């Protein structure tokens, strides 16, 4: 098993899960090919993360072409809060959500 973690990605977990659900259970070369042609912003960081996990597996002496994406977990990594002025002297909150992505190859 090989792991890799993306600790803080500036995109909501809900949008990142749309990308990660596409590659769960696929072989590593097939997952990288699918992410290469996907027109979503989260596809490039997820692709780099899978390549990093594959490099960790290669350094441990495993064949990368036989590995599959066993699990890919997307969780909340906090948020940045700021306020926008609105009418009548009010303020509304703006919450910029962040994601944490953990990949396990087996």
| Residue range 8-54, pLDDT digits in tens | 999 999 999 999 999 999 999 999 999 999 999 999 999 999 999 99
Q: What is the pTM of this model?
A: 0.92
Domain boundaries of the chain, sorted by first residue: 2-105
pLDDT band at residue 104, thresholds of 50, 70 and 90?
Answer: very high
**What integer pLDDT is reported at residue 55 of this predicted model?**
97
Contacts of 87 (CB under 8 A, 6+ apart): none
**What integer pLDDT is reported at residue 95 of this predicted model?**
98
Dihedral, CA atoms, 5, 103, 28, 58, nearest 10 degrees?
60
Q: Looking at the domain covering 2-105, what would its CATH class be?
A: alpha beta
Percent of the chain residues topping a pLDDT of 90: 100
DSSP 68: B
């Amino acid at each position: 098993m090989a792991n890799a973690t993306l600790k803080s990605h500036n995109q909501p977990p809900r949008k990142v899960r749309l990308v990660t659900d596409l590659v769960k259970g696929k072989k590593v070369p097939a997952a990288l090919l699918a992410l290469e042609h996907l027109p979503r912003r989260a596809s490039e960081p997820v692709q780099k993360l899978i390549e990093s996990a594959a490099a960790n597996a290669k350094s441990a002496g495993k064949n990368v072409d036989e590995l599959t994406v066993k699990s890919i977990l997307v969780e909340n990594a906090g948020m940045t809060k700021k306020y926008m002025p609105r009418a009548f002297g009010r303020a509304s909150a703006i919450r910029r959500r962040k994601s944490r992505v953990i990949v396990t190859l087996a």
